[in-house]
Chains A and B, each alone.
Chain A
Amino acid sequence: MEKLLMKGNEAIAEAAIRAGCRHFYGYPITPQTEVSAYMSKKMPKVGGLFLQSESEVAAINMVYGSAAAGVRTMTSSSSPGISLKSEGISYIAGADLPCVILNIVRGGPGLGGIQPAQSDYFQATKGGGHGDYHLVVLAPSSIQECVDLTFEAFDIADTYRLPVMIMGDGMLGQMMEPVVFGEHKGREIPEKTWACSGTNMKREHNIVNSLYIDPKELEDTVIARQKKYDYILENEVKYETDSVEDADIVLVAYGTIGRVAKNAMIKARAEGLKVGLVRPITLWPFPAKAINDIASTAKAFISVEMSMGQMVEDVRLAVNGKAPVYFTGRTGGIIPQPTEILEKIKEVAGGIK
């Protein structure tokens, strides 16, 4: 299989096309503009549609329309743009439609900066839009994983009829690593009998809607959707662990910072400190059970993030009082160095002896 050297943004775009996405709606914003640029070049060559909309709000509503028609569709943006899309994302979730949304996160709040950050964790996992809904949130940490999870994102979206978010950051979007586009086996996708794709005068027309005036009817749809979420919580959790079996201190870190945390772990091990790492790959569903199991042997946890501490709350809920949970991180576009994480490890280690 041929290895290619690609930027994360371009690799995700290529993977989306290979996964069968033929309807992409974009609006430029650093640091994800290469996704749109790549789509604009490639989509016409595969008979697909690239459309640069007049705004992020328009783009997500175009996705809403395409998803209702039953085609694989996607939009991408970075933090401020995702805030604009949040209303549309809630509507899509409320209408039970599949689509993929890419967030290449930059520092915030507001226009913030353009350097890598993870400060959109709350927005992604707790619902940036209104209402009882969840996105499945996938957090790759290498370019190869960007590719593999993009295929997965479309499959998960179609399997469960919900929006899936791929959450990277500026570093992952801009860096290049070797990737292989292997054969993606793919899941068996249920037929889209609900799609508004033309009746051919052979069936009743379908309706896509998120408005239910009757409270009982609305409650029923929300409860039905919750059952889907409960199933996903049991069946779609993905994470990676490293050296947790004998670890006193377990780092929890995802995406870009997961890699930096691994360097810190190696440094700490070299100094005789028993440190392990859990890297959540799905941020929702969060690997709560896995972390709780590890908490039976670990003496302390440190959530390492490029934010002021957001995932740390989920780590605390997962650990559920079995061990202390600490936080370390930088924000605003600064990537913590392994030595900074090592300092925190030593500080915590000093306390647990």
Chain B
Amino acid sequence: MNNEIVIAGFGGQGVLFAGKLLAYTGMMLDKEVSWLPSYGPEMRGGTCNCHIILKDDLVGSPVVVEPTEVIALNGPSFQKFENSIVKGGKMIYDSTLIDVKPVRADIEYIAIPATKMADDINASKLANMIITGKMIKETGVFTLEEVLEAVKKLVPASKPELLELNQTAIKKGYEYNA
């Protein structure tokens, strides 16, 4: 395993939580992981992102310069990170909110209408989980069961209905076929 992932979107879209879920799943599987958020004024209504590294051996710099995968939840993030992706890498994006034409021939573009799908299950804030489900399906970085297990640890035990909704959203994304 050697994934260097950037997740980016607007503040409030659950970018940091989606990243935390990936890092946490990796940790549960005894992988070396790091999670680095952007912090500062850009988080207030502007773009927000986090860098996640999942490796078999020690993580050096936690800063992701050339991501193997980018999850983009809004247009500015798509444009900001599209060119940084390594050759053969993947751009997984929310096609409900992003209407841009892919320009690179050497990376794979994976579109999923995550925001619309979230609305369809009355969970408008869970587009992040839907797209994370799609991401693990497309990359095979984790199995569905592993992520469903990890999310249990991240949603407060006092909110079982929230856990179920998160798990449903991850499954929807995982099962989505264009």
Contacts and interface: CB of A to CB of B under 8 A. Distances in A.
A and B held together in a complex: yes
Interface of A: 3, 5, 30-31, 114-115, 170-171, 174-178, 259-260, 262-263, 266, 335, 337-339
Interface stretch (B5-13, B56-64, B99-107, B165-173): B56-64
B65 interface: yes
Interface of B: 20, 23-24, 27, 33-37, 39-40, 59-63, 65
Contacts of A177: 33-35, 59, 62
Contact of A176 (B20, B40, B61, B65): B20
B62 A175 contact: yes
Contacts of B34: 175-177
A260 B35 contact: no
B23 A176 contact: yes
Nearest to A257: B61
B164 to A, nearest CB: 22
Nearest to A4: B27
Contacts of A335: 61, 63
Contacts of A5: 20, 23-24, 27, 33, 35
B158 to A, nearest CB: 16
B61 A260 contact: yes
Nearest to A333: B40
Contacts of B62: 171, 175, 177, 259
B39 A170 contact: yes
In the complex, which of the residues B23, B36, B62, B65 has the most CB atoms of chain A within 10 Å of its own CB atom? Answer: B62
A266 B2 CA distance: 15
A82 to B, nearest CB: 19
Nearest to B35: A176
A138 to B, nearest CB: 20
B88 to A, nearest CB: 19
In the complex, which of the residues B33, B39, B40, B61 has the most CB atoms of chain A within 10 Å of its own CB atom? Answer: B61
- In order of increasing CB-CB distance, the 9 nearest A-B pairs are A176-B35, A263-B60, A260-B61, A175-B36, A178-B27, A262-B60, A263-B61, A259-B61, A259-B60
Given A337-B65, A339-B65, 17 more contacts: A3-B27, A5-B20, A5-B23, A5-B24, A30-B39, A114-B39, A170-B39, A171-B62, A174-B36, A175-B34, A175-B37, A175-B62, A176-B20, A176-B34, A177-B33, A177-B35, A260-B60
A337 B39 contact: no
B166 to A, nearest CB: 17
A176 B19 CA distance: 10
A263 B65 CA distance: 12
Contacts of B23: 5, 176
Contacts of B33: 5, 177-178
Nearest to B154: A5
Nearest to B26: A178
Contacts of A115: 40
A114 B59 contact: no
B59 to A, nearest CB: 7
Nearest to B27: A178
Contacts of B24: 5
B68 to A, nearest CB: 15
Nearest to A179: B27
A262 B33 CA distance: 17
Given A5-B20, A5-B24, A178-B27, A338 B61 contact: yes
Contacts of A176: 20, 23, 34-36
A5 B22 CA distance: 11
A174 B39 contact: yes
Nearest to B36: A175
A115 B39 CA distance: 8
Contacts of A263: 60-61
A262 B40 CA distance: 27
A42 to B, nearest CB: 17
Contacts of A178: 27, 33
6 contacts: A5-B20, A175-B36, A175-B37, A176-B20, A176-B23, A176-B36
A31 B24 CA distance: 23
B61 A174 contact: no
Contacts of B35: 5, 175-177
In the complex, which of the residues A30, A31, A174, A262 has the most CB atoms of chain B within 10 Å of its own CB atom? Answer: A174
A347 to B, nearest CB: 20
Contacts of B36: 171, 174-176
A260 B27 contact: no
